[in-house]
């Protein structure tokens, strides 16, 4: 029995049923073909086709009803729930766009200004194959590190301003939902990750004798050390505020499994690192290490409801690479105590995943009473 046209838009009610079905059957396969190739065309064609076919077929009407329900839910999320203190979806989206624009635009301006002021060349900023292949003078290394990291200062400020004035939340909630931010807990994250990094370096040397070599020359190293100690914590904190702060709070709406949220966050965290020289070409598999690290830091952040551990661990990770054990092909220059040859991919992935699991386990056993009480 043919359903009446009640509730159908006027334009579709005027179409005879036979013509509507014919158009629908033409547009449906066309939309399916175009969907993976040109989704901006394939999706509208599919939606029009199912609306037309819905005049006759129950499966199309069910699909249309599902689309309508999702659209109503999205509109409700965009508008926000007055009964909830969770910001409306449009605020999260606009804020993320603003943060990224501030980072890319103002950060690029800051870096370019530094390049001009310090007289650096493009080859010094972006050497072929990354840093560590050719020696770099300490004073030039300090200038290059400054130019690379100064772009993260607008990134840091953008996170704070967007959270306060677009989400209209207290900035303290970006760092923690437990009520107070613990510097001691941040130092715990730093210490545990730093110790695990040293253990990983020692394991690499045991597996590859002679691959880790003493490389530190104190002459002229003071400016580099000063820049590293000043700007690397700002860089890592900016990244944590965006990936484990802004994006993680956006995704963790209480309806999704937290392990799934953490894994997605790990993938998103890894995306910008595809530009790093150590994951280029055949070594792109190394991106799995970034995914594992991002997932681990996201997991402990969700578990504890605070960025303390992740901020400390990220700072330890990058400071170690700059000052303790640099490696060939790094994204930043290192004036470090040791220099490592390129780590074999399999060893890097195994040691990296083991370090993430150990970090989550150790810090979970050392959770303070306030976190254990809130989790219970």
The β-bridge partners of 131 are 330
On whether residue 150 sits in a domain, the answer given is yes
Residues 249 and 307 in one domain: yes
Helix H or strand E segment including 325: strand 325-327
Residues 34 and 97 in one domain: no
Residues 215 and 274 in one domain: yes
**Of 31, 52, 79, the domain-final residue:** 79
Reported pTM: 0.79
On whether residue 207 sits in a domain, the answer given is yes
**Of 48, 79, 110, the domain-final residue:** 79
Dihedral sign from CA coordinates of 78, 83, 85, 86: negative
On whether residue 1 sits in a domain, the answer given is no
Residues 38 and 126 in one domain: no
User: Which DSSP string corresponds to 242-275?
Assistant: IIIIIIHHHH--SSS-HHHHHHHHHHHHHGGGGG
Query: How many domains, in total, are found in the chain?
Result: 2
Are the CB atoms for 327 and 132 separated by under 8 Å? yes
* Chain position carrying tokens 């303390």: 308
Residues 122 and 60 in one domain: no
Residues 44 and 134 in one domain: no
Residues 154 and 17 in one domain: no
Residues 257 and 334 in one domain: yes
Residues 199 and 284 in one domain: yes
Residues 137 and 70 in one domain: no
On whether residue 48 sits in a domain, the answer given is yes
On whether residue 84 sits in a domain, the answer given is no
Q: Which two tokens mark 325? A: 């054990």
Distance CA 236, CA 233 (A): 5
On whether residue 312 sits in a domain, the answer given is yes
**Of 79, 106, 128, the domain-final residue:** 79
Domain containing residue 24: 10-79
Q: Identify the three-state secondary structure at position 194.
A: helix
Residues 162 and 51 in one domain: no
pLDDT in tens, the chain (376 residues): 344 444 455 444 577 888 888 998 899 989 888 888 878 888 888 899 999 999 889 999 999 999 888 887 777 666 665 656 788 888 999 999 999 999 999 999 999 999 999 998 888 888 876 776 677 777 889 999 999 999 999 999 999 999 999 999 999 999 998 878 999 999 999 999 999 999 999 999 999 998 898 888 888 899 999 999 999 999 999 999 999 999 999 998 776 788 999 999 999 999 998 888 877 666 788 899 999 999 999 999 999 999 999 999 999 999 999 999 988 778 888 888 998 887 788 888 999 999 999 999 999 986 654 454 444 4
Residues 43 and 140 in one domain: no
Dihedral sign from CA coordinates of 93, 162, 298, 194: positive
Distance CA 336, CA 316 (A): 14
């Amino acid at each position: 029995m043919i359903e009446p046209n009640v509730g159908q838009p006027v334009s579709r009610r005027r179409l005879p049923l036979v013509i509507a079905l014919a158009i629908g059957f033409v547009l449906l396969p066309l939309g399916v073909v175009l969907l993976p190739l040109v989704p901006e065309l394939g999706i509208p064609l599919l939606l029009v086709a199912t609306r037309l076919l819905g005049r006759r077929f129950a499966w199309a009407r069910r699909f249309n009803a599902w689309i309508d329900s999702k659209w109503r839910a999205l509109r409700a999320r965009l508008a926000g729930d007055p009964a909830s203190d969770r910001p409306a979806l449009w605020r999260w989206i606009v804020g993320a766009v603003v943060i990224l624009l501030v980072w890319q635009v103002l950060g690029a301006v800051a870096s370019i200004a530094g390049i001009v002021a310090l007289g650096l060349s493009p080859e010094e900023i972006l050497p072929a194959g990354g840093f560590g292949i050719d020696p770099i003078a300490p004073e030039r290394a300090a200038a290059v590190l400054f130019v690379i990291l100064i772009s993260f200062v607008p990134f840091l400020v953008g996170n704070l301003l967007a959270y306060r004035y677009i989400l209209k939340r207290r900035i303290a909630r970006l760092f923690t939902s437990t009520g107070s931010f613990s510097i001691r807990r941040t130092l715990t994250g730093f210490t545990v990750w730093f110790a695990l990094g040293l253990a990983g370096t020692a394991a690499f040397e045991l597996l590859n004798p002679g691959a880790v070599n003493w490389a530190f020359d104190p002459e002229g190293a003071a400016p580099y050390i000063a820049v590293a100690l000043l700007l690397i914590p700002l860089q890592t904190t900016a990244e944590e505020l965006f990936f484990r702060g802004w994006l993680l709070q956006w995704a963790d709406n209480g309806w999704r499994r937290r392990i799934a949220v953490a894994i997605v966050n790990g993938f998103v965290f890894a995306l910008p690192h595809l530009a790093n020289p150590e994951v280029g070409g055949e070594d792109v598999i190394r991106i799995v290490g970034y995914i594992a690290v991002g997932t681990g830091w996201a997991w402990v952040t969700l578990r504890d409801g605070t960025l303390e551990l992740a901020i400390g661990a990220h700072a330890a990770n990058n400071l170690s690479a700059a000052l303790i054990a640099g490696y060939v092909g790094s994204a930043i220059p290192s004036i470090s105590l040791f220099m490592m040859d390129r780590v074999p991919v399999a060893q890097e992935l195994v040691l990296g995943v083991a370090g993430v699991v150990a970090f989550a386990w150790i810090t979970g056993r050392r959770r303070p009473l306030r976190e254990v009480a809130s989790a219970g």
